[in-house]
Structure 1
Amino acid sequence: MPRPKKYRKVCCLPQKNLFGPLNVNNIDTEIILMTVEEYETIRLIDFEGLTQEECAERMNVARTTIQRIYNNARKKLSQTLVNGNLLKIEGGCYKLCSECGQNYDCEQCNRHRFGKNKTKY
């Protein structure tokens, strides 16, 4: 029997889930799918400036798992930018943080929408 998949803790879902070039002539362009946990690793490591270890701690998984997820996410972002594909964020194996959900005031996740020394995003 295979080992059960461990859910990754995610602070919030993205406000927008579809990204791509503005001048799409062909709507049949390939859509790159990014999972919610891949989005969360990009958000934590690149946007919030955390290390892979800190990101792994926040998401309750091993650092090596974060490294794999992060590398997959970066590859998908580069495919989107270089080839002009659409990027859609959906699915994955995650659970929303029960402390914050979508209210952006989670002390455990240290996520604040408008906090001291934080910029509006």
Structure 2
Amino acid sequence: MSPTGTTTRRNGVAYAVIGVFVAICAAGWAIIMAHTEGTPGITPQIVSWQAADRSVRVHYQISKSKGDNVRCALIAYDTTHAEVGRMEVTVPTGTGDVDRRQQLPTKSRATAVDVQGCRTG
């Protein structure tokens, strides 16, 4: 066999190995993101917030289907991105999109607020 034929075959095997590796990485990434980012079809959003020394008033919205019971975490952070407050909120079955305001107690003054980890159940 000529050197060119051997090189072509080696390149084909190398490309196949790289392709399998990329596919495994993509599948793993998708699984990790599905478990860390919450349930697809639920869209949480912070509308506004106002911080005091020991609490933060959060205005948030959650879009979901009426058939789902949804739990989300409201989380407040300080200037070093350390968590200073956390509260679980629930949107019951039979309720679709919600627009709520919630007082979140904090250990110190919050400089950022997020709603995340929304899951059904």
TM range (shorter): under 0.3
Higher normalized strand content (fraction of residues): 2
TM-score scaled to structure 2, two decimals? 0.24
Which one has a larger percent helix, Structure 1 or Structure 2? 1
Task: Please tell me whether Structure 1 or Structure 2 has the larger radius of gyration of its CA atoms.
Answer: 2
